[in-house]
Amino acid sequence: MSREAVVVGSGAAGSVVAWELARAGWDVTILERGRNLRPGLGRRDSSDLGTTYGSDELKGRRGYGFPDGLLEPYTTRTQAEARKGVARSAQGALGQLGAAVGGTTLHYNAKTPRFWRQDFHQRSALGPVADAQVADWPIDYGDLEPHYDEVEYRLGVQGDRSAMPERTLRQSPRRRDFVMRPNPPSYAASLVADGARALGFEPYPFPAAVNSREFQDRPACNSCGMCSGFGCPINARGDALVSYLNPALRTGRVRVVDRAWVHRIETTRDGRRATAVHYRDLQGRRHRLAASTVILAGSPINTARLLLLSATGAHPRGLGNRSDQVGRNMMFHNFTLSAALFTRDVKPLRAQSATVQVDDLMGPFTGPEVQALGVPYVVGGVVQVGSGAPPLEASTTLSSLVGHGTALKQLMKVGLHAGICGSQLVHQDLPQAHNRVDLDPKVTDFHGVPSARITYSPHRHEQAAALLLGARMEAMHLLAPGATGAVVLPFPILSDGITYTAHLAGTARMGRDPRTSVCAPSGRLHDVGNVYVADASTWPTYPGFNPTLTIMANARRIARGLIDRPGE
Amino acid sequence: MRPTVAAPVSRRAALAGAATSAVVVWGAGAAAAAVPTGAQRARYLTSSRLAVLRAVVDRVVPGQPEDTVAGAVAAGCHEAIDALLGAFTVDPPRIYAGGPFSDRGGSRVNHFAKFLPLDRYEERAWKLRILGSRGHRDLERNGPVTGMQQVYRTGLDALAASVPGFTLLPGPLRDLALQGSQNAAVTAMFDLAVAHTLEFMYGAPEYGGNKDGVGWHAVGFEGDRQPRGYTRAEVTAPKTELLPLVDAPLEDLLDALGLPALPPLPPVLTGAAPTAAVLSPLLPLASSEVMAGLHARAAGSHRELAEQVRDLVAPVLSSSGARGETMARLHAEADRLVCEARSRTGRQSAAPPSDPAESEGAR
Ligand SMILES: Cc1cc2nc3c(=O)[nH]c(=O)nc-3n(C[C@H](O)[C@H](O)[C@H](O)COP(=O)(O)OP(=O)(O)OC[C@H]3O[C@@H](n4cnc5c(N)ncnc54)[C@H](O)[C@@H]3O)c2cc1C
Ligand code: SF4
Distance CA B230, CA A224 (A): 6
Residue of A nearest to B217 (CA): A413
Give backbone dihedrals phi and psi of A290, rounded to 5 degrees, phi first: -65, 145
Residues with Cβ within 8 Å of B117's Cβ and at least 6 positions away in sequence, in order, are B91, B92
pLDDT digits 0-9 by tens, B55-112: 999 999 999 888 888 999 999 999 999 999 999 999 999 999 999 999 999 999 999 9
Q: Which of A488-502, A530-544, B311-325 has the highest mean pLDDT?
A: A530-544
Interface of A with B in 90-109 (CB under 8 A): 90-96, 109
Cα gap A495→A464, rounded to integer Å: 13
The radius of gyration of chain A's CA atoms, rounded to the nearest angstrom, is: 22
Nearest CA in chain B to A229: B289
Q: Is the pLDDT of residue A45 over 60?
A: yes
Ordered by start, the domain boundaries in chain B are: 11-226, 249-362
Q: Give the number of the ligand closest to the Cα of residue A258.
A: 1
Lowest mean pLDDT: which of A43-52, A298-307, B88-97, B264-273? B264-273
Task: Specify whether the CB–CB gap between A132 and A431 falls below 8 A.
Answer: yes
Range with the lowest mean pLDDT among A39-53, B55-69, B143-157? B55-69
Residue ranges of B 165-204 with Cβ closer than 8 A to chain A: 175, 194-195, 197-199, 201-204
Could you tell me the pTM of the whole model?
A: 0.92
The contacts of residue A284 (CB under 8 Å, 6+ apart) are A447
Q: Which of residues 381-410 of A touch B (CB under 8 A)?
A: 387-410
Residue nearest atom 7 of ligand 2, based on CA coordinates: A221
C-alpha torsion B158→B164→B170→B172, nearest 10: -50
Average pLDDT in the A422-432 region?
96
Nearest CA in chain A to B350: A481
Q: Which of A375-379, A559-563, B246-250 has the lowest mean pLDDT?
A: B246-250
A162 touches chain B (CB under 8 A): no
Give the lowest-confidence range in A94-108, A456-470, B278-292: B278-292
ipTM: 0.95
Is residue B73 helix, strand or coil?
Answer: helix
What's the confidence (pLDDT) of residue A396?
A: 87
Which residue in A289, A286, A263 sits closest to A276, CA to CA? A289
- Per-residue pLDDT band for A389 (boundaries 50, 70, 90) equals confident
Percent of chain A residues past pLDDT 70, beyond the cut: 99
For B238, the closest of A339, A347, A488 (CB atoms) is A347
Rounded Cα–Cα distance for residues A551 and A534 (Å): 8
With contact defined as beta carbons under 8 Å apart, do A20 and A563 qualify? yes
Q: What is the dihedral of CA A119, A124, A126, A127, to 10 degrees?
A: 130
Pocket of ligand 1 (CB under 6 A): A 8-14, 31-34, 97-100, 103-105, 107-111, 228-229, 260-262, 297-299, 302, 306, 502-503, 535-536, 546-548, 551; B 289
pLDDT in tens, A440-449: 999 999 999 9
Query: Cβ–Cβ of B246/A228 closer than 8 Å?
Result: no
Cβ pairs A/B, distance under 8 A = 464
Indicate if the pLDDT at residue A402 is higher than 90: no
Mean predicted confidence (pLDDT) in B139-154 = 97
Looking at A4-8, A170-174, B320-324, B334-338, which range is the least confident one? B320-324
Nearby residues of A201 by Cβ (< 8 Å), 6 or more positions away: A358, A360, A476
- B236 Cα–ligand 2 center, Å: 16
Judge whether B124 is closer than 8 Å to chain A, CB to CB.
Answer: yes
What's residue B34's pLDDT?
43
Residues 481-540 of A with CB under 8 A from B: 481-491, 493-495, 498-502
- Would you state the pLDDT for residue A127? 97
Q: What is the mean pLDDT of residues B189-193?
A: 96
Q: How far A249 CA sits from the closest chain B CA (Å)?
A: 22
Q: E strand or H helix at B312, and its extent?
A: helix B302-317
Who has greater pLDDT, B8 or A470? A470
Q: pLDDT digits over B13-30, tens only? A: 222 223 222 222 222 233
> Do A291 and A262 touch, CB atoms closer than 8 A?
no
Order of strands, sheet of A286-290, starting from the edge strand that comes earlier in the sequence: A261-267, A274-280, A286-290
Compare CB distances from A415 to B220, B277, B356 and report the shortest one's residue.
B220
Nearest CA in chain B to A60: B96
pLDDT in tens, B242-297: 877 554 444 444 443 333 334 333 333 333 334 444 455 555 565 556 677 777 77
> Between A406 and A374, where is the model more confident?
A374
Query: Nearest C-alpha of chain A: how many angstroms from B47?
Result: 24
Please state, as a whole number, how many other Cβ atoms lie within 10 Å of the Cβ of residue B93: 21
b/e map A87-99, b = 16+ CB within 10 Å: ebebbbbbbbbbb
Q: How far is CA B99 from CA A280, A476, B201, B224, in A?
A: 30, 39, 20, 12
Identify the top-confidence range among A226-230, A273-277, A398-402, B359-363.
Answer: A273-277
What pLDDT digit, counting tens, does each position of B287-342 carry? 556 677 777 778 778 888 878 777 777 776 666 788 888 988 998 999 999 999 99
CA-based nearest residue to A184, from B288, B284, B229 = B229
Contact A89/B at CB under 8 A: no
Q: Quick one: pLDDT at residue A344? A: 85
Whether the CA torsion A117, A122, A124, A125 is positive or negative: it is positive
> What is the pLDDT of chain A when averaged over all its residues?
95
User: What is the per-residue pLDDT for B307?
Assistant: 80
Task: Give the mean model confidence (pLDDT) for residues A360-364.
Answer: 98
Q: Torsion-angle region of residue A556: left (phi > 0), alpha (psi -120 to 50) or beta?
A: alpha
Strand order in the sheet with A294-296: A254-258, A27-32, A4-8, A294-296, A531-533
Partner A contacted by B33 (CB < 8 A) = no
For residue A361, give Cα distances in angstroms to A371, A377, A499. 17, 13, 20
> Is A252 a residue whose pLDDT tops 80?
yes
Q: How far apart are CA B202 and CA A187, in angstroms?
A: 24
Tell me the best of A41, A74, A105, A335 to mutate to test the pocket of ligand 1, counting ligand atoms within 8 Å of each CB and taking the most.
A105
Q: What is the pLDDT of residue B125?
A: 98
pLDDT at B284: 59
Predicted confidence at residue A411, as pLDDT, reads 77
Looking at mean pLDDT, say which of A389-398, B141-150, B276-285 comes out highest.
B141-150
- Interchain contact, B237 vs A187, CB within 8 Å: yes
Supply the mean pLDDT for chain B.
78
Of A232, A243, A347, A387, the one to substitute when testing ligand 2's pocket (max ligand atoms within 8 A of C-beta) is A232
